[in-house]
Amino acid sequence: MLINLSSDTVTKPTPAMLQAMLQAEVGDDVFQADPTVNALEAKGAALFGKEAALFCPSGTMTNQIAIKVHTQALDEVICHEYSHIYQYETGGYAFNSGVALQLLPGKEGKITADQVEAAIRPVYDWLPISKLVSLENTANKAGGSYYTLEEIKPISDLCRKKGLKIHLDGARLYNALAETGESTQAVGELFDSVSLCLSKGLGAPVGSLLIGDKEFIRQARRFRKVMGGGMRQAGFLAAAGIYALDHHVDRLKEDHAHARQIGETLKELPMVENIRPIRTNLIFFDVKAPYTAASFLDVLAKQGIQSVPMGPQTVRFVTHLDVTAEMVAKVQQALREM
């Protein structure tokens, strides 16, 4: 039994999802003639109370397109220093959009309206123009922590008052909503654009949705094309996305419970320290010398348990659709035997 805790992106389609994919009606989506892609986009837009959506190959692409549409070169995006758009998108904000980022610190990957207000630049020739705020929910590098709508609302209100756009990197938004019980509709009201990964906790093999108003999506579609993301019979993939939204949202709570169970076991281990608060499906902790993250993971690998180091001493485990209760028990046992 191989247990892969590297990421929630490693899930494979379930037999029922594969069945839905095989039965998809398809067409050429570059001509907007793929009925299954169109259905997924309509579903995504409706979920967030927005006018339109765009199916893209990845969450990196949906974020990059959102930055591109919302900004011009020499503008600035305000975000947390741990943001995926800064940390893990190859510096694409500079390459694709010619913008700067203003990085803010903040507990558990979160920023506040006061911080954003202080970060907004006055208008001088020698300063970039503050144009966009990007929030991440859940926050990946911060350990899967989440914002509540109550925390987001003042930031959204401020952006509207000051004429800034606000984007949500919601790669794992549904993990946040599983904890808060809040609705996608209510989220949609607070953002100009939302990026949603279908290929993380939701368990689709490929794809992300970018959601916004009609004019935003019209421009986004052009940038998707120039980035090489115009796919043809993408309905086979979109069908997996529809299936994921219909069947894999309610079960995310199980992943969170599994993460907390593993966290309880980690607390018993003398070589483990600094376990970050486990809010959703991500588990971050440090291992003490003489262990390194790599040597710790080598021991687990011999038991068929895989993950990846997130720093010299830092390990991340991710629970997901393909991690069963039985596997969690096996992980707990392997940890106790270390």
Ligand X SMILES: *Cc1c(COP(=O)(O)O)cnc(C)c1O
Residue ranges that bind ligand X, judged by CB under 6 A: 58-60, 63, 84, 136, 140, 169, 171, 197, 199-200, 208
Residue closer to ligand X (CB basis): 58 or 71: 58
Contact assessment for residue 202 and residue 244, using Cβ atoms and an 8 Å cutoff: yes
Radius of gyration of the chain (CA): 20
Three-state secondary structure along 74-126? CEEEEEECCCHHHHCCCCHHHHHHCCEEEEECCHHHCCCHHHHHHHCCCCCCC
Residue closer to ligand X (CB basis): 140 or 145: 140
Query: Least separation, in Å, of the C-beta of 272 and ligand X?
Result: 24
Give which of 304, 314, 234 is closest to 276, Cα–Cα: 314
Residue closer to ligand X (CB basis): 202 or 335: 202
Query: Least separation, in Å, of the C-beta of 22 and ligand X?
Result: 23
Query: Least separation, in Å, of the C-beta of 291 and ligand X?
Result: 26
Query: Least separation, in Å, of the C-beta of 34 and ligand X?
Result: 20
Q: Which residue is nearest to ligand X (CB)?
A: 59
Residue closer to ligand X (CB basis): 75 or 136: 136
Q: Are strands 193-197 and 165-170 parallel, antiparallel or unpaired?
A: parallel
- Other Cβ atoms within 10 Å of 44 Cβ, number: 26
Spatial distance between the Cα atoms of 98 and 153, rounded to a whole number of angstroms: 29
Residue closer to ligand X (CB basis): 58 or 335: 58
Spatial distance between the Cα atoms of 24 and 324, rounded to a whole number of angstroms: 28
Residue closer to ligand X (CB basis): 146 or 291: 146
Query: Least separation, in Å, of the C-beta of 223 and ligand X?
Result: 15
Spatial distance between the Cα atoms of 44 and 38, rounded to a whole number of angstroms: 10
| DSSP letter for each residue of 228-247 | T---SSTHHHHHHHHHHHHH
Query: Least separation, in Å, of the C-beta of 25 and ligand X?
Result: 25
Query: Least separation, in Å, of the C-beta of 62 and ligand X?
Result: 8
Residue closer to ligand X (CB basis): 120 or 321: 321
- Please count the CA atoms within 13 angstroms of the CA of 267 that sit on its side-chain side: 9
Contacts of 268 (CB under 8 A, 6+ apart): 336
Residue closer to ligand X (CB basis): 34 or 169: 169
Query: Least separation, in Å, of the C-beta of 60 and ligand X?
Result: 3
Spatial distance between the Cα atoms of 297 and 305, rounded to a whole number of angstroms: 8
- Please count the CA atoms within 13 angstroms of the CA of 43 that sit on its side-chain side: 19
Spatial distance between the Cα atoms of 269 and 337, rounded to a whole number of angstroms: 10
